[in-house]
Structure 1
Amino acid sequence: MNEVVIAAAMRTAHGKRNGTLADIHPVDLMAEVLTALVDRTRIDPAGVDDVVVGCATQFGDQSSNVGRYSVLAAGWPDTVPGATINRACGSSQQALDYAAHAVMAGQAEMVVAAGVESMSRVPMNAAKEGGRPYGPRALARYGGREFNQGVSAELIAERWHLSRRDLDALSALSHARAAAAVDSGAFEEQVVPIDVSGSAFTVDEGIRRGSSVETLAKLKPSFKADGVLHAGNSSQISDGAAALLVTTPRRARAAGLTPLARYVAGVVVGSDPELMLTAPIPATEQLLKKSGVPLSRIGVFEVNEAFASVPLAWLQETGADPDLLNPLGGAIALGHPLGASGVSLMTRMVHHMRDNGIRYGLQTMCEGGGTANATLVELLA
């Protein structure tokens, strides 16, 4: 099998719901990142075998193969294909897996794995309105109850004995780490500036400086009256896009590129669809077995902060070092543009690995329906 490397990684800053990026069509937003990819790498886009774009809410402005139309909007040759995939929140992490599989198998030499979501223009539950998205048989199998992520997050908090203070402490830390990352310039190289009315949008819009357990304690529970989950310890609804250039070492050298990381292994697992958000735990276990790399050798973990209870339960089960978890903040502070989040997290992680000389990084993401992707990469740059 061919060795697979990530030769470039970049993202937009994440916009808040109805914020700076709200008026940009998701196809155009994705096209901005594809254009930046060519500008920064100097590759000939005609040599890209495929563009695989994650997008979770394929409805309205995101309904007609965002991947293909983003290629056209970017001005790439119309001979370059594009596809759009949906694995809920893990859509673009799955795009990376598909790109890696194609290159590994020799079916492609250069693939762009990307993701985009405009949650301002296409709200998370828009596709459900007037429809029956789960189907009667799937619902009947689980007692007719609709699958609800917020309720699942509450069940996780109960099962792992996580208090409101535990969750709020993680949330405050997420904001503090994200703010520190911005102040240190950690995101500058990876962020693609987006021109909005003559100004460059470059800083993630959801960071709340000075967030604390005390300020978060004032917020009302969102999913049950006596619950512990609320808007402040849940991921933010966001807009954003991101892209990775996935190729072989030989092709990267030929293009004059120094790869950032080697794709070591990836897995996807299914788990209880009602509890839903615990699948990163077995996904991590499978990934470690598959790769042969022990937890103790991994220097950074990106576990998506869909809700604060998710990474905290993951920490309990894996025994990972909490200081290595989401060191630049997570979705609670930086936002969660569903289809873009997998590649956006990978972008943050591989740049952090390079900046700090970290050999191995592990990323995992809970997903609606009770699935999770987990990916292990190794520093090369």
Structure 2
Amino acid sequence: MHAQINAMKEVYIVGGLRTPIGKTNGKLKRFLPEQLAAKILNELLEKFQLEPQNIDEVLLGNAVGPGGNLARVSLLEAGWPYAIPAHTLDYQCGSGLSAVQFAASRIAAGESDLVIAGGVESTSMAPLRQFNPKDPRFQGHGISYERAPFSTPAIGDPDMGEGAENVARLMGISREQMDAYALESHRKAQAAWENGSLKDIVAPLALQDGTLLEKDQCILPGLSLDFLKRLPPAFIADGRITAGNACLKHDGAAALLLCSKRALEKYGLTAQAVIRATDCTGCDPNLFPLSPVPSVRNLAQKAGITLDAVSAFEINEAFAAKVLACCGELGIETKRTNVLGGALAYGHPYGASGAIILLHLLKVLELQQGSLGIATVGAVGGQAVSILIERCTDPCA
């Protein structure tokens, strides 16, 4: 089977780390995004016994930060040499996985050998933004807007919840199905913490009050279907999407170390996986939660595989409706998807989420001794990014 894969020039994933995930105005509310990212940058160096000057470049995704080159600010916050370049990508919810895709392309092209890629988000610190008074969308001084435009008004520019409602209605996904899926996500996430599956990929974070945050803040071990049933619709009066079957807003950072074969040998590193193919694809912005469907299909076609050959999938859980719809359209079982739970339980720090699910995918393949895995994120505006990895069964260095 693997001989059929049309591999890109080999790019290895050595491993990665993430912070615990906090809810908006929760445990991480006083951290600037660059502080969260700097923590992970330096923790990665320590984990893999590297020096800052060994890293060729840093790529980080971010969606609701202050603008500018946040990756560069994060690198400087970490105390790294000025000579190391950094780039920030905004692919909305797909930013963290898009950063990994771009990093892989840089390595495959021979431009870099050792790159850190991932993302960071602090919704707690998201700035208030206002249109220019000359802009027809300007609503008055002191009136800020919550989100940037994702599409044009002529096509349709739904909010995230509205897009999820569109997909739930189109695909005939019931409120009961979504609530049951959300409950299972929390159950799986709680089990992952209890059995130690996440202990080596989550870096504890010292808080300003002197305590140590070691676990994600948003998992609800006592959640029940009865509680979920009582929640009102979150976006439209007769809607199916609630605060229980949709993710909320969160803070966190995550990054992975990617490298070439040459860097593996030079620094004595051992790879966990090889990136076999990547894809980014668009769809109708009004149905953006379905964007992983064409992207994953393209990915499989590029790699010359069928989805039956894939051991595990990670589909970012912005909404239960999204995962249920994508699994239904792709013909994949939910039991192969988000095995450790997903963003409905852990949280969805937009710019970091793609890197988080890729870290979780690596862990699932390790635990299950699986071979191929796919991570995919659908983003507002009708776009998706997907990555196919193959676990290294023999040491690659």
TM-score by length of 1: 0.94
> Within 5 Å, which residues of 2 pair with 1:227-238?
227-238=239-250
Q: 2:29 aligns to what?
A: 22
Q: Deviations over 1:336-372 (max 9, x none)?
A: 0000000011111112212321111111111010000
Q: Deviations over 1:140-188 (max 9, x none)?
A: 432xx54222111111111111111000000000000000000000000
1:217 alignment partner, SS class? helix
Q: 2:92 aligns to what?
A: 88
Q: Distance in 2 between matches of 1:127 and 1:340?
A: 25
Match of 2:177 among 166, 186, 190: 166
Q: 1:188 aligns to what?
A: 199
Q: Deviations over 1:63-94 (max 9, x none)?
A: 23110011111111111111111000000100
Q: Distance in 2 between matches of 1:348 and 1:315?
A: 18
Query: Is 1:327 the equivalent of 2:331?
Result: no
Q: Distance in 2 between matches of 1:173 and 1:345?
A: 17
Q: 2:380 aligns to what?
A: 368
Q: Distance in 1 between matches of 2:327 and 2:338?
A: 11
Amino acid at match of 2:42: T
Match of 1:56 among 51, 63, 73: 63
C-alpha displacement of 1:26: 0.8
TM-score by length of 2: 0.90
Amino acid at match of 2:40: V
Q: 1:156 aligns to what?
A: 167
Q: Distance in 2 between matches of 1:322 and 1:308?
A: 11
C-alpha displacement of 1:130: 4.0
Q: 1:270 aligns to what?
A: 282
C-alpha displacement of 1:44: 2.2
1:312 alignment partner, SS class? helix
User: Quick check: 11-20 or 351-360, which moved more?
Assistant: 351-360
Q: Distance in 1 between matches of 2:125 and 2:33?
A: 8
Amino acid at match of 2:277: A
Q: Deviations over 1:251-301 (max 9, x none)?
A: 123212111110011100010011221111111110110111211111111
Q: Is the 8 A contact 1:2 1:106 kept in 2?
A: no
Q: Distance in 2 between matches of 1:55 and 1:352?
A: 25
Q: Deviations over 1:103-158 (max 9, x none)?
A: 001011111102000011117x85776469439xx63432xx54222111111111
Q: 2:230 aligns to what?
A: 218
Match of 2:369 among 357, 363, 369: 357
Q: Distance in 1 between matches of 2:53 and 2:122?
A: 27
Query: How many positions carry a matched residue from both structures?
Result: 373
Q: Distance in 2 between matches of 1:202 and 1:16?
A: 14
Match of 2:317 among 283, 305, 319: 305
With over 3 angstroms needed to count, the CA separation of the structure-2 counterparts of 1:249 and 1:127, relative to structure 1, is farther
1:277 alignment partner, SS class? helix
With over 3 angstroms needed to count, the CA separation of the structure-2 counterparts of 1:41 and 1:162, relative to structure 1, is same
Q: 2:126 aligns to what?
A: 122
Q: 2:189 aligns to what?
A: 178
Determine what percentage of the aligned residue pairs are the same residue.
Answer: 36
1:274 alignment partner, SS class? helix
Q: Deviations over 1:208-228 (max 9, x none)?
A: 112222210000001111111
Query: Is 1:71 the equivalent of 2:75?
Result: yes
2:265 alignment partner, SS class? helix
Moved beyond 3 Å, runs of 4+: 125-135
Query: Is 1:279 the equivalent of 2:294?
Result: no
Amino acid at match of 2:200: E
Name the Cα RMSD after superposition: 1.7
Q: 2:135 aligns to what?
A: none
Q: Distance in 2 between matches of 1:134 and 1:122?
A: 16
1:309 alignment partner, SS class? helix
Amino acid at match of 1:119: T
